[in-house]
Amino acid sequence: MSKTDPGAKRPETLGGYIVHNLPFPNQLTDETLASLREMAPIQIEQPYSVTYLHSYAQDSPFFAGLTNKVLLGCREPESGYTYATPRGHDMHSGAETDWVVLPNEGTVHAFTVCHFGSEEFLPECPFVLALVEFEGADTLFLTRLVGVDPDEAALDWIGMKVKAKYLRNAKLKPTDVYFVPAE
């Protein structure tokens, strides 16, 4: 192809596309043109890739802590109100919070057995989600409770002492920490 010849034919390629449903009549008549209304949609199959950049922004210290087997919460400096989950600003005053280390042990405040879950948890169904209470924290921490049988759930789990465990190879997700019975 010549760059100077505007009439030169450009090379064509489907570029890896797979085309589905491309029937078209060989001869165009009034009847075949009318039948185009019933034509199935053309579908093009092609590779598609996206690089997704996610920022934890103000919660970054929480995930860095999990990677280093440290559970961080947030405290409002004036009132001392302590959140067991990351929170950049106090919900009442709007003041910026400070990071604090939470204990690696707590108590089951409430729990539920999940028989369905997101894609990541489907292989683990059924699993136990628990709200863990920490000494010195005013809110609860939602986490998985591992090492108990979901089919044997019992009310005596409420008040059970639990301790944090961390994934050896952090994925920088809230699931990098989970809890097991302390005994």
Q: What is the reported pLDDT for 33?
A: 85
Cis peptide before 174 (omega within 30 of 0): no
How would residue 32 be classed by pLDDT, with cut points 50, 70 and 90? confident
Q: Which pLDDT tens digit goes with each residue over 2-14?
A: 556 777 777 666 6
Q: What is the reported pLDDT for 26?
A: 78
Report yes or no on whether pTM surpasses 0.85: no
| Alpha-carbon dihedral sign for residues 127, 108, 171, 47 | positive
Q: Where on the phi/psi map is residue 141: left (φ > 0), alpha (ψ -120 to 50), or beta? A: beta
Q: Which pLDDT tens digit goes with each residue over 59-102?
A: 999 999 999 999 999 999 999 999 999 999 988 889 999 999 99
Q: Is the pLDDT of residue 15 over 70?
A: no
Q: What is the reported pLDDT for 155?
A: 96
Q: Which pLDDT tens digit goes with each residue over 98-154?
A: 999 999 999 999 999 999 988 777 888 999 999 999 999 999 999 999 999 999 999
Q: What is the reported pLDDT for 107?
A: 98
Q: What is the reported pLDDT for 124?
A: 86
**Residue 153: C-alpha distances to residues 65, 143, 158 (Å):** 31, 16, 10
